[in-house]
């Protein structure tokens, strides 16, 4: 993982306000990295960062927007993780409401775990993530060896 990281930002509808507030607070830490977001979250983050950059006379970064989560955005992020294209995941999910794409949410969190992607699911864990000295350094996460699983015998 390079010093300039690819950071995936996702928030369910009831957590988008939290994400916007978090991005507003941490925008200086985020603007030097590549940001990739699911649909509506990406639009809100772009508006927020553009506004913060304008106020502070800075050039806003490009923000990559995928599809909305329920339309496949979570799966797009999962695929990007599998391909080694995501370094960090900040996912403010709503623990109080079922989502129409709950299976996709679970799959995204599972893939992030399989590939040992640092994942923050609350504002406090996201704050700890961006304030870590590792956030600005090169870092190589250890990956579990799944060779045994890949080469396992399957009876048919």
| For the chain, the helix, strand and coil percentages under 3-state DSSP, each to the nearest 5 | 50, 15, 35
113 is in an annotated binding site: no
Q: Closest Cα to residue 142, out of 119, 118, 122?
A: 118
40 is in an annotated binding site: yes
24 is in an annotated binding site: no
Catalytic residues: 74
69 is in an annotated binding site: yes
41 is in an annotated binding site: yes
133 is in an annotated binding site: no
- C-alpha to C-alpha distances, 68 to 4, 11, 15, 51, 156, nearest whole angstrom: 25, 10, 15, 22, 39
39 is in an annotated binding site: yes
Label residue 83 exposed, middle or buried (CB < 10 Å: 0-12, 13-18, 19+).
Answer: exposed
Task: For residues 110 and 128, give the distance between their C-alpha atoms in angstroms, rounded to a whole number.
Answer: 21
101 is in an annotated binding site: yes
Question: Where is the binding site, in residues?
Answer: 12, 16, 38-41, 68-69, 101
Question: Where is the binding site for substrate, in residues?
Answer: 12, 16, 38-41, 68-69, 101
């Amino acid at each position: 993982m390079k010093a300039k990281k690819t950071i995936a930002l996702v928030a369910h509808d009831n957590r988008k306000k939290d994400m916007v507030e978090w991005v507003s607070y941490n925008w200086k830490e985020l603007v030097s990295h590549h940001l990739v977001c699911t649909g509506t979250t990406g639009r809100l983050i772009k508006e927020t960062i553009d506004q913060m950059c304008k106020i502070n006379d800075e050039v806003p970064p490009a923000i990559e927007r995928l599809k909305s989560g329920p339309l496949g955005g979570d799966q797009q992020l999962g695929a990007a993780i599998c391909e080694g294209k995501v370094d960090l995941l900040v996912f403010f999910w709503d623990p109080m409401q079922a989502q129409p794409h709950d299976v996709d949410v679970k799959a995204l969190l599972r893939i992030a775990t399989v590939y040992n992607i640092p994942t923050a699911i609350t504002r406090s864990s996201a704050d700890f993530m961006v304030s870590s000295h590792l956030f600005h350094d090169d870092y190589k996460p250890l990956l579990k060896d799944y060779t045994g699983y890949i080469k396992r015998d399957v009876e048919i």
